[in-house]
């Protein structure tokens, strides 16, 4: 252009001839194709890059992976795929809003890029899933090192619109050619390893191993059978007594779900996390609540002395906007008076989403329902923080009770929790009491309420009336 700017231009040149077919002129027609170039560029960007983070998308990643697979097989080199999924990202998105979720993803992208070399690729597959392609590594162990570096790089606080957020990620690694020479297989294996990292507690790196496929197919099997299990009435509730140890009186029972089919029972730890992940927990949880209330009323109608029935609520269930309404409908349907229902919420659920949680808890508490913090001591909350919630009971996690007689730290922690809970007006209960020695230690620390195999294992519903009639347990 006149101002010196360079622009792309398309020219068509046509020769003009006279009667003897001699060229006399050329006519050049040109067009400024800046717009067209820009559009093509945009299409390329849209087709191969993620619009939020500007990282390569799945298509681009696969393209680069295939290229890398071709060259590495020629040169006898290794490469690796790191599959990364943020832990509990959905919670952040749901509670803090999508704008903040987006900012967080952009920051994650930035940190991931800073961990890799030029020539490696960081891609976003969508949602909170990222993949890193390491194209040339000397030894497989280097891939693990980079994966660890990536995991650690996410640890420092991230700021998004004034919110301080902490994210962790689960990372699965597959290495080529060791774990496959085909893009689809490598992607699947890295994903499997990532899933394994999730199920072992998140915020960790796992390298793919062939055994993982078996574990993954077991999970898949469980997940795919859950919906039918509800229809076929394969779930049952067992009830475990809660005991006042000073009088040995039975003060309540906790409903614990069992999945029983063909004579074998799948324990809740095997299917609750899976159903939490898939969302099916909402249906299971509603069934548990309804069934526990129905059973409590049935016992009362038989003339048995009424006791509290405690029901566990999962994090996902608790996040439902309609939870309070659902609970109140179920109480009304079953005819159970609210004071006989206790809802158990784990410490980590409480800490997840303070504002919304507080509102729901106040509503439930105002209805007369009792509230308990479950597995206390496993999260990161302070007791003074708990003061804000209208909790009635605090269940000390079994991991502290287990070693109370042998580990002085655990004994000190339990006794501190008991004292502080008391001062806050919350009744402490020790979970997982298995021996007389533990019971004595707990009593010495001032704990009045206990639950555990020492008193009784969780029992099928038909064995509960005898306990209720006796009223005490030894
Ligand atoms: P939780 O709520 O902390 O329940 C107590 C768990 O400890 C139960 O395991 C119980 O059987 C076990 N337990 C009780 N006394 C002892 C003892 O003395 N020693 C040992 N080692 N264990 C003891 P269970 O029934 O396998 O349930 C595991 C977890 O699954 C529960 O932990 C709860 O978080 C979850 N869960 C169970 N039922 C439901 C449900 O209906 N809904 C939801 N969302 N979660 C449930
Ligand atoms: Mg519980
Ligand atoms: Mg517990």
Q: What pLDDT was estimated at residue 328? A: 97
Q: What pLDDT was estimated at residue 62? A: 94
Ligand 1 neighbourhood includes 314 CB (under 6 angstroms):
yes
The angle subtended at Cα 286 by Cα 220 and Cα 392, nearest 5°, is: 115
Q: What pLDDT was estimated at residue 277? A: 79
Indicate the helix (H) or strand (E) that contains 449: strand 449-450
Q: What pLDDT was estimated at residue 263? A: 76
Rg (CA), the chain: 30
Is 61:131 a contact under the CB 8 Å cutoff?
yes
User: How many angstroms does the Cα of residue 256 sit away from the middle of ligand 1?
Assistant: 6
List, for residues 270-293, the tens digit of each pLDDT value.
899 888 878 899 999 999 999 999
List, for residues 200-231, the tens digit of each pLDDT value.
889 999 999 998 888 777 777 788 888 889 89
- Listed in order, strand segments (DSSP E) in 18-72 are 23-32
Q: Backbone phi, then psi, for 71, in 5-degree steps?
A: -70, -35
Ligand 1 neighbourhood includes 240 CB (under 6 angstroms):
yes
Q: In angstroms, rounded to a whole number, what is the distance separating the alpha carbons of residues 339 and 361? A: 15
Q: In angstroms, rounded to a whole number, what is the distance separating the alpha carbons of residues 45 and 41? A: 6
Q: Backbone phi, then psi, for 433, in 5-degree steps?
A: -80, 120
Q: What pLDDT was estimated at residue 262? A: 75
Mutate to test the pocket of ligand 1, among 311, 312, 342 (most ligand atoms within 8 A of CB): 312
Q: Backbone phi, then psi, for 159, in 5-degree steps?
A: -105, 130
Q: In angstroms, rounded to a whole number, what is the distance separating the alpha carbons of residues 92 and 101? A: 7
Q: What pLDDT was estimated at residue 382? A: 64
Q: What pLDDT was estimated at residue 379? A: 66
The token pair that represents 283 in the structure block: 């249906």
Closest ligand to the CA of 379: 3
77's CB contacts (< 8 A; 6+ apart) are: 71, 136, 137, 138
Which residue ranges of the chain lie beneath pLDDT 50?
Answer: none
For every residue of 391-438, DSSP letters joined together read: -SEEEE-HHHHHTTTT-HHHHHHHHHHHHHHHHTT-EEEE----SHHH
DSSP state of 462: G
Instruction: Write the Ramachandran bin of 279: left for phi over 0, alpha for psi from -120 to 50, otherwise beta.
Output: left
Looking at the CA of residue 257, tell me the nearest atom of ligand 1.
Answer: 38
Q: What pLDDT was estimated at residue 334? A: 97
Ligand 1 neighbourhood includes 342 CB (under 6 angstroms):
no
User: How many angstroms does the Cα of residue 374 sit away from the middle of ligand 1?
Assistant: 10
Q: In angstroms, rounded to a whole number, what is the distance separating the alpha carbons of residues 312 and 458? A: 14
Q: What pLDDT was estimated at residue 380? A: 60
Ligand 1 neighbourhood includes 242 CB (under 6 angstroms):
no
Ligand 1 neighbourhood includes 375 CB (under 6 angstroms):
yes
Q: What pLDDT was estimated at residue 225? A: 87
């Amino acid at each position: 252009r006149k101002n010196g700017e360079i622009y792309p231009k398309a020219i068509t040149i046509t020769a003009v001839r006279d009667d003897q077919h001699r060229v006399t002129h050329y006519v050049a027609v040109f067009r400024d194709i800046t717009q067209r170039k820009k559009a093509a560029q945009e299409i390329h960007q849209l087709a191969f890059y993620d619009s939020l983070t500007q990282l390569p998308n799945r298509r681009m990643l696969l393209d680069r992976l295939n290229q890398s697979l071709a060259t590495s097989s020629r040169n006898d080199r290794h490469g690796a795929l790191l599959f990364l999924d943020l832990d509990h990202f959905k919670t952040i998105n749901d509670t803090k809003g999508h704008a903040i979720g987006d900012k967080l993803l952009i920051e994650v992208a930035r940190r991931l890029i800073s961990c890799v070399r030029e020539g490696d690729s960081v891609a976003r597959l969508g949602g909170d899933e990222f993949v890193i392609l390491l194209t040339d590594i000397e030894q497989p162990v280097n891939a693990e090192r980079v994966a660890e570096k990536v995991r650690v790089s996410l640890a420092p606080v991230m700021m998004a619109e004034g919110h301080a957020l902490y994210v962790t990620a689960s990372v699965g690694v597959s290495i080529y050619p060791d774990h496959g020479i085909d893009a689809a297989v490598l992607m699947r294996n890295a994903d499997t390893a990532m899933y394994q990292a999730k199920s072992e507690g998140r915020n960790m790196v796992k390298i793919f191993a062939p055994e993982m496929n078996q574990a993954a197919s077991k999970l898949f099997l469980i997940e795919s059978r859950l919906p039918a299990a509800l229809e076929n009435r394969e779930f049952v509730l067992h009830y475990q007594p809660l005991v006042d140890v000073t009088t040995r009186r039975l003060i309540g029972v906790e409903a614990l779900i069992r999945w029983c089919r063909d004579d074998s029972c799948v324990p809740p730890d095997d299917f609750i996390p899976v159903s939490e992940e898939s969302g099916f927990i909402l249906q299971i949880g509603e069934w548990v609540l309804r069934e526990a209330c129905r059973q409590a009323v049935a016992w009362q109608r038989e003339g048995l002395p009424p006791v509290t029935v405690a029901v566990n609520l999962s994090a996902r269930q608790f996040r439902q906007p309609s939870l309070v309404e659902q609970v109140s409908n179920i109480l009304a349907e079953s005819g159970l008076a609210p004071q006989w229902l206790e809802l158990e919420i784990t410490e980590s659920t409480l800490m997840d989403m303070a504002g919304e949680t507080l509102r729901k808890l106040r509503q439930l508490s105002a209805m007369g329902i009792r509230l308990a913090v479950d597995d206390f001591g496993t999260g990161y909350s302070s007791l003074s923080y708990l003061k804000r919630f209208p909790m009635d009971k605090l269940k000390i996690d079994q991991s502290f009770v287990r070693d109370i007689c042998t580990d002085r730290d655990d004994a000190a922690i339990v006794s501190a929790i008991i004292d502080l809970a008391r001062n806050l007006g919350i009744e402490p209960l020790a979970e997982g009491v298995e021996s007389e020695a533990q019971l004595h230690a707990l009593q010495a620390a001032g704990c009045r309420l206990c639950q555990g195999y020492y008193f009784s294992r969780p029992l099928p519903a038909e064995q509960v009336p005898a306990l209720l009639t006796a009223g005490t347990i030894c």
